[in-house]
Amino acid sequence: MAGRSAVLFLLDDRYRTGSDTPLMLQRVLGVPVLKWLTEALYRAEVNRFFLACAPALLEAAKPCFPEAAELMTSSDENPSDLLHVFLSTASDEEESVLVVTGPVLYLPFHRSRAAGRSANACMVSRQGLMAALDETAPIGHYLRHSGDACTEDDGFFNLGGPEELPEWQPIMNGNYLRVLIRSGVEIWDLHNTYVEPGIPVGIGTTLLPGTILQGATTVGYGCTIGPNTRLVNTKVGNHSTVEQSKAEDAQIGSHVQVGPFAHLRPGTVLEARTKAGAFVELKNTVLGTGTQAAHLSYLGDAAVGEGVNIGCGTVTANFDRVEKHPTVIEKEAFIGCNSTLIAPVTVGQGAYIGAGSVITEDIPAQALGIGRAKQQNKKEWALRNKKEEDQ
């Protein structure tokens, strides 16, 4: 696309659509249409944006622009002065700018059968637009007579109303998935994989069916995500696997294995070469490098050091109905199966906990902690207590 600057007029068209939200701020797959547009333009090397909108729309519109892009906004009835500044500060080599005047999508990978149909966008001379702003005639007059209309052949498509959004949804999602494929990502099913626009996925990563990536999520290279996995505001390192699991506001390091059926809740940090396996739930918990929680465990408000083994069925009892309390497990400790740690409690470096223990006191480094009743075998008890019909 020629030009590195774009001018967007965000219309308050609620009166026309009958909705309480302008069309460009309505959501597709949880993301405002405006963000789909700006992210697509940013990938086409548009990195300067001017937004003109009503004051009531500004707060909702500003987060729709890429963080790395330059953004100037105006909520004045007449944005000419600020727009003139925006245009005059562009690179001297930039001869033309994109102007979007109404609801529109930019889908460069979508091919329409209606060739040549004009959209609510045009390319105009930067110098010519600045000159037009100095005159008294409405800017719309200049755009209609001097703008080079963008068409569906150029990848621009008009939006007629909110009723069209469900039809556009798979096309918009598929357009971004094709961007990822061209960058070296393997996607098994374009119709059952959902990635919000702008989420980066590294080369060599595979997205399996049922994968949903949302918010501020990032995925490194060489990973396998899915099937049936949802990541929200979660950062994943390199060469990690997240299988049939959910993560929210979490950090997953490199060479990490998550799932199947794990739940990483906010505040979870998995450092390199860790494992949160089948039916493991973590909340506000850090697993140090090399630590393994292979299955069927809950760790909440816990700081776990390097090289720790978390046995099957381990639980940190962190809530006393009034406050949440921390558990500290120092490096190289070994937590036996079906152990319950009553917080606040600390397990020292290299310490062991016997399987089936309920731990209520700190365990010193290199010690063995056992908190369970002594087994008693009552001889011939079963013979003496049989039901009459069994005798």
Q: Is residue 385, in this structure, part of any structural domain at all?
A: no
- Is the same domain home to 118 and 147? yes
Band (92; pLDDT cuts 50, 70, 90): confident
From 141, 191, 239, 295, the catalytic residue: 295
- Residues of the chain with pLDDT > 90: what percent? 83
CATH number of the domain at 20, please.
Answer: 3.90.550.10
Q: Is residue 291 part of a domain?
A: yes
More confident residue, 3 or 186: 186
**E strands along 101-162, which residues?**
104-106, 118-125, 148-151, 156-158
Q: Is 239 an annotated catalytic residue?
A: no
- Please report, for the domain that includes residue 317, its CATH number: 2.160.10.10
- Same domain flag for 68 and 110: yes
Residue 128 has pLDDT above 70, yes or no: yes
Asked whether residue 210 is domain-assigned, the answer is yes
Digit-coded pLDDT (tens) for 294-308: 999 999 999 999 999
Q: What is the pLDDT of residue 218?
A: 98
What total of structural domains would you count in the chain? Answer: 2
Q: What is the pLDDT of residues 199-244, one digit of tens each?
A: 999 999 999 999 999 999 999 999 999 999 999 999 999 999 999 9
Domain assignment of residue 31, yes or no: yes
Q: How many residues does the chain have?
A: 391
Same domain, 84 and 109: yes
* Weakest mean pLDDT among 78-82, 247-251, 253-257: 78-82
Is 317 found in the same domain as 271? yes
Q: Residue 10 pLDDT > 60, yes or no?
A: yes
- Residue 135 sits in the same domain as residue 219: no
pLDDT of residue 3: 65
pLDDT of residue 137: 65
The reply to whether 130 falls in a domain is yes
Asked whether residue 255 is assigned to any structural domain, the reply reads yes
Shared-domain flag, residues 230 and 151: no
- Residue 49 φ/ψ, nearest 5 degrees: -130, 140
Give 267-281 pLDDT, tens digit per residue: 999 999 999 999 999
Domain with 308 in it: 176-369
Q: Does residue 76 sit in the same domain as residue 101?
A: yes
Q: Are residues 290 and 230 in the same domain?
A: yes
What does the pLDDT average to over 172-200?
Answer: 97
pLDDT tens-place string over residues 341-364? 999 999 999 999 999 999 999 999
Same-domain pairing of 271 and 310? yes
Q: What is the pLDDT of residue 136?
A: 66
Share of the chain above pLDDT 70, in %: 97
Is residue 21 domain-shared with residue 108, that is, in the same domain? Answer: yes
pLDDT band at 2 (very low <50, low <70, confident <90, very high): low
Upper half-sphere CA count for residue 49 (Cβ side, 13 Å) = 31
Note whether residue 344 is domain-resident: yes
The mean pLDDT of the chain is 94
Query: What element of type H or E holds 283?
Result: strand 275-283
Q: What does the pLDDT read at residue 146?
A: 86
Residue 61 has what pLDDT?
Answer: 96
Pair 119, 54 in one domain: yes
Any domain includes 187: yes
Last residue of a domain, one of 130, 148, 167: 167
* Model pLDDT, residue 144: 85
Structure tokens at 140: 């719309």
Question: Which pLDDT does position 14 carry in this prediction?
Answer: 85
Q: Collect all residues with Cβ–Cβ distance below 8 Å to 288 and sequence separation of at least 6.
A: 271, 274, 304, 305, 306, 307, 308, 331
Q: What is the pTM of this model?
A: 0.91
How far is Cα 163 from Cα 167, in angstroms, rounded to an integer?
8
- The C-alpha atoms of residue 104 and residue 121 are separated, in whole angstroms, by 8
